[in-house]
Amino acid sequence: MILDNNLFLSGSIVGATVTGQTVTATGNTVSTNVVDLVTARDIGKGEAIDVFVGVTVAPVGGTTVQIQLVQADDAAITTNVNVLTQTDAIPIATLTLGKQIPIRVGRVDPNIARRYLALRYVLVGAFSAGAYIAGITNDVSDTFVAFPVGSNVL
């Protein structure tokens, strides 16, 4: 899996340290990072892309988490929000530490193109813990392994 710091939606990787975005608010939580496409465009033109989501802190409380890739006209993700793709409601018992949730993004022509992309976590119930790392990539690997900066991978 190839990662780009500019395409992280939730959390970050600095050196060998992976830090997830804490998501515990009931209802909808937008990812801490938003991708600015500079101009509104159909991101599905050409090759399909993937969104990877990894659990860095297992959720506690609540019942389900649904993850949506959304687009909007503003960086706050509040104006003309469209859901491009989403997972089913995922029971928290399956969201264990290290779990990966791949989200495939195909052509999105039916939607009007918007400028900003983000993830939205839809939580059902009251959560006291839960954190995720997520980003856009060209493929999702089977397991998530972060290597320190400068590492050679053979």
Q: How confident is the model at residue 14 (pLDDT cuts 50, 70, 90)?
A: confident
CA of residue 140 relative to chain centroid, distance: 12
Q: Is residue 143 part of a domain?
A: no
| For residues 96-109, average pLDDT | 82
Q: Is residue 154 part of a domain?
A: no
Query: Comparing C-alpha atoms, which of 37, 56, 19, 54 is closest to residue 114?
Result: 37
d(C-alpha 150, C-alpha 73), whole Å? 37
pLDDT(128) > 80: yes
Measured CA distances, 135 to 26, 60, 123, 128, 151 (Å): 22, 23, 19, 24, 21
Q: Is residue 150 part of a domain?
A: no
Q: Is residue 145 part of a domain?
A: no
38: domain CATH number is: 2.60.120.1110
